[in-house]
Chain A
Amino acid sequence: MEDQPAGAVGLVSDITGLNDTNIKLEPQHSTSRTQETLTRTKASKVSKKKSRTPRASAESMAKQQREISISEFFARNRHLLGFDNKRKALLTSVKEAVDNALDACEEGGVFPEIYLEIKQLSEDRFRMTCRDNGPGIVKAQIPNIFGKLLYGSKFHRLKMSRGQQGIGISAAGMYGLITTGKPVSIISRTGKGKPAHHYKLAIDTKKNKPDIIADKTVEVPWEQGTEIEIEMVASFNKGRQGVAEYIELTAIANPHTTIVFKGPDKKVIEFLRNVDELPEQTEEIQPHPHGVELGVLMKMIKETDSKQLGAFLSSEFSRVSPRIAKEVCAKAGQTQRTWLQSIGPSDIEKIYNALQETKLRAPSTNCLAPIGAEAILNGLLKGIKAEFYTASTRPPAVYRGNPFQIEVGMAFGGQLGSLDASNGDDKSKQPTTARVIRFANRVPLLYQQSACCTFKSVVDTKWNKYGLSQSRSTLPQAPFVVLIHMASVWVPFTSESKEAIADYDEIRKEIKLGLSECGRRLGTYIRRKKKRSHFAQRRDVFHRYIHEIVESCRAMTVCNKDDLRDALSELAERATEAADMEFDDHGKIIAKRKGGDSEMDNTIVLDESDQAPPGQMQLFSNGDDAAPRKVKRAKKSKKTSTKPKKKSGKKVKKRK
């Protein structure tokens, strides 16, 4: 009991009403935190009985004491998995289905094409259909994967992947079953010539076993992939924190993916793939001693194949060489040859402390697959209509022995709004507040924003120096989106519901560095833009008066009006050359300054001619008299403004 980690206590008390029961679990799957603590509860034999009925005898109580299945446990405690309410249940189901689909496709080496449909059957009943083009699942495994909790491939390894626990999709199926009584329907096909298997599965919650209701071979119009259909009681909400936002954000973080989403309103939203590279497959790594907790170490000692301490340390951990293993053993008062079986709990603690004290190399970082700055730009382009985009990928870093990598992206202006509007110059518009979009291992985080390390970093950044207005400790008031992605083999969430990233100093520091790197580029852009509009404004004023001056001069002396107008216009253009950037150098300003301007890497600026000052357009469109030059200019600027925005206006500058 004394070794029991604090977390276990909390968890046991979560199992309301089960305190008196002898909890027994199937031992074969056990690595996740939850699972581990449950196992430990069992191992230490919960025997303290808080008898609420004093008259019961040990014998009568023994009748009630029986094994509970993990499925049964989660059926009762579904909030632990994100099924707290109807709205969240739908989102969580979508999330699990989409995450699984993406992981399957990437592992199978195909560009994911995901079709997701939410169909409203009655007021609070929905059917979710999710189909991918992944490698499919072999027939024998289908019932296990979808009909059994804690069955999966991602569970036992320290590797960067979206899902980590293997509970998700079967839990969604179980939720559907509990709320509607309808089984989960799965169709999977592993290749062109292969048959498609159609299963209807229910979960036997008592035994945590799939209950096969139907099993047949069907004809499907697609070559390979998996389709899952779950009917559930849920509610669909539009806007923030809804399925649509989740899909939008997933598309941003996964530009290599095509997602087609059909909502209950029958509207189809398509996010097409715009990156031709799959994310690199990451390597699995062994745990780094600095990231391991005492309980985990105990379990590892119990489960290892090694017989002696030295061999165990150097084979089970990364960055522990035989030499370092020797050093650790000496510090802990052991030798490399000490038999593991002979090591008691207090010795393990000594070994643990020795491991923490020893200086070790940081873990290798090839286990991380960041999205990449360019892919983030493509993702932002796909999902957010702005005029300025920038992104940056920080080098890998380490917190508590876990390697991680931070990526930051920013989108500004364009259809998000103008800076003036958010500064309150235009009273008719509400000021726009910046939006933070957060990702952990490419999975969007929608809830608990203010508890998240990323959000805190954004709020703490001094945006004023990058040209955005910001009140103390709030998001900046600007048409502005910040993207923050954390890639890690183990993302430290603040809670089991995986909604906010914990606030580690190392993580915070990396986020801040990423934010200021992108912020500097944004600041440069905003300053340039202001300067440009400043000059454009001047030019506008000069042009406005030229007509008057030409008329006046004509009234006083003999001259050719058109020639004089042309000459003066030319001078005006020359006097306000800086404004030309807006007229013919859209976005090229940055590209022009090759070499010296390395800080503008990974930045896209879109055509902004549709944002020319209204006064100017008005001036040109009213040129009813003989002013051929102005008319020509008007045509010119119209032409540029009708250019297809994304294709012609952008210019990506690659790193390297």
Chain B
Amino acid sequence: MAKKKSNSKKAPKTVIKKRSKRGANGVKTTNKLEGLAESVVDNAFGRREPAIDIPIRALSNVSFNPKTRYIEMGDRCQQRSLFNYGQAKRFMQTLLVASKCKELVDADKTASIRQIYYLAKHTIKGTKEKTFDGQDESDPVIEDLEVALEALREELHVFAGSKGALIGELTFVDSGDTIDATKLGSGGYAIPSIVEPSVIQFKKCKAEYVLHVEKDTVWRRFVEDRFWEKHRCILTHGGGQPSRGVRRMLYRMHDELKLPVVCLLDNDPWGYYIYSVIKQGSINLAFESSRMAVPNAQFIGVSSFDYERFDLTDDVKIELDANDIKRAKQILNYPWFAGKKPWEREIKQMIKNGFKMEVEALCSKNLTFVTDEYTPQRLKQRKSWLD
């Protein structure tokens, strides 16, 4: 996950940078990149086959830490070697991306993951082969580098496209510009890929909690009805699976502003998993859980029991297919879901219902049902929230 392609048209061409990002972190990253190259050179001169150790980013190499309540990455590594027929190209690509990151760090510029793809893509001398056949080859390499070097994406001066937006009772500074998030019209503030304290500093917060909704369309409903004003909250959305920028923002608001985070997501396995990523971190980016996961986040809906609870009609139903059921069972088996009785009931109820519900489906009652009745009621029914 989080591998969503950023569209180059959408991505800002240059990042506004008024403050130099080359702090202590920048120097450190340069060292790490140099170290990577040095190990290859040393191995080569030492007549050893050069290889890079890359921690495995898969379910098999993550574990749920009950103390911290988020997913942590194990220490199992995969060796990526140049002289292995199956890995040679990946090895070359890793070094190539690393060298491009080094250039970015040295020049104090940032590039989107798609720009990295174009920076590193060229025809290999004397052949017709391209270094990268598509962005789906370069994106995982960037993630590999992050884990291998223990450097964050922003430390490598790479960002993804903005996805997700924010609006509500918050004032903050982004790259030197003060932004009052109550005065953002209908579009809100697009959460950038990098929201580190070096870029964004919080100033004033009147909100009592953060309400995260799944998609842009639902979020607009809430904005139009000025839900944030009535309920004194901050409204965010992640455009589906939230990007790292959105998650990091949620974390910072929770961590620095001490705001509780509640989620209003679709009643389907994908909605559950979005919640899980916000709360516990993702498998793929488990190495960043500690700075992104919000273990206290709560799931307020849509719940499988809401069909009866709110006396909904058949029109809200979308039938579950085999894929949904399979995914639901998979989620139920994740260690961080297992053993949580309410969740077990919730997921089992969905399978029993045989249908799933989108947040938008609540409009079948009336357009503002979700903002006028459903959400306020659910916010009061604390006991039926899911943890």
Inter-chain contact B124/A556, CB cutoff 8 Å: no
Query: Which residue of chain A has the shortest Cβ distance to B44 in the bound complex?
Result: A567
Given A542-B88, A545-B89, A619-B126: A552 in contact with B98 (beta carbons within 8 A): yes
Q: A563-B45, A567-B44 are in contact. Are A544 and B127 (CB under 8 A)?
A: yes
From A551, A556, A563, A618, B34 is in contact (CB under 8 Å) with A556
B103 in the interface (beta carbon within 8 A): yes
Do residues A549 and B125 form an inter-chain contact, with CB atoms below 8 A?
no
> Closest approach, in angstroms, between the C-beta of B93 and any C-beta of chain A?
9
Asked, given contacts A545-B88, A571-B83, whether A564 binds B41 with beta carbons under 8 Å apart, the answer is yes
**Interface size in chain A (residues, C-beta < 8 A):** 31
**Contact present for B126 and A545 (CB under 8 Å):** no
The CA of A615 and the CA of B89, in the complex, are separated in Å by: 17
Chain B CB within 8 A of A575 CB: yes
Q: Are A544 and B99 in contact (CB under 8 A)?
A: no
Which parts of A529-573 form the interface with B (CB within 8 Å)? 538, 541-542, 544-545, 547-549, 551-553, 555-557, 559, 563-564, 567-568, 570-572
Contacts of A622 in B (CB 8 A): 125-126
- Evaluate contact between B95 and A552: CB separation under 8 angstroms: yes
B37/A552 in contact, CB under 8 A: yes
Residue of B nearest to A571 (CB): B49
Q: Is B213 part of the binding interface, using a Cβ–Cβ cutoff of 8 Å?
A: no
The chain B residue with its CB closest to the CB of A567 is B44
Which residues of the other chain, B, contact A618 by a CB distance below 8 angstroms? 126-127
- Looking at chain A's contact residues, the main secondary structure is helix
Q: CB distance A619 to B83 under 8 Å?
A: no
CB distance from A519 to the nearest CB of B (A): 31
Q: Does A623 contact B (CB under 8 A)?
A: yes
With beta carbons under 8 angstroms apart, the residue of B89, B95, B125, B129 that contacts A553 is B95
Whether a CB of chain A sits under 8 angstroms from the CB of B27 is no
Expressed in whole angstroms, the minimum distance between the Cβ of B87 and any Cβ of chain A is 10
B75 CB to closest chain A CB, in angstroms? Answer: 25
B152 at interface, CB cutoff 8 A: no
- With A545-B89, A571-B49 in contact, is A555–B103 under 8 Å at CB? yes
Chain B residues whose CB sits within 8 angstroms of the CB of A571 once the complex forms: 44, 47, 49-50, 82-83
In the bound complex, do residue B102 and residue A556 qualify as a contact, i.e. CB atoms below 8 Å apart? Answer: yes
Assess the B41–A548 pair: CB atoms within 8 A. no
Which residues in A have their C-beta under 8 angstroms from that of B41?
A: 553, 557, 559, 564
B125 engages A567 (CB within 8 Å)? no
The smallest C-beta distance from A257 to any residue of chain B, in angstroms, reads 49
CB distance from B127 to the nearest CB of A (A): 6
B85 touches A541 (CB 8 A): yes
Residues of B contacting A541 in the complex (Cβ-Cβ under 8 angstroms): 85, 88-89
Question: How far is B126's CA from A623's CA once the two chains are assembled, in angstroms?
Answer: 7
In angstroms, how far is the closest chain B Cβ from the Cβ of A12? 74
With contact pairs A548-B96, A619-B126, A623-B126 given, residues A542 and B83 touching in the complex (Cβ less than 8 Å): yes
A467 to B95 CA separation, bound complex (whole angstroms): 40
CB distance from B135 to the nearest CB of A (A): 18
In the assembly, what is the distance between CA of A553 and CA of B92, in Å? 10
8 A/B residue pairs, CB under 8 Å, sorted by A: A541-B88, A541-B89, A552-B99, A553-B40, A556-B37, A557-B34, A571-B49, A623-B126
Residues of B at under 8 Å CB distance from A? 33-34, 36-38, 40-41, 44-45, 47, 49-50, 82-83, 85, 88-89, 91-92, 95-96, 98-99, 102-103, 124-127, 129, 131
14 further contact pairs, Cβ within 8 A, besides A553-B40, A559-B41: A545-B91, A548-B96, A548-B124, A549-B92, A552-B96, A553-B41, A555-B99, A556-B33, A556-B37, A568-B44, A570-B47, A572-B83, A615-B127, A618-B127
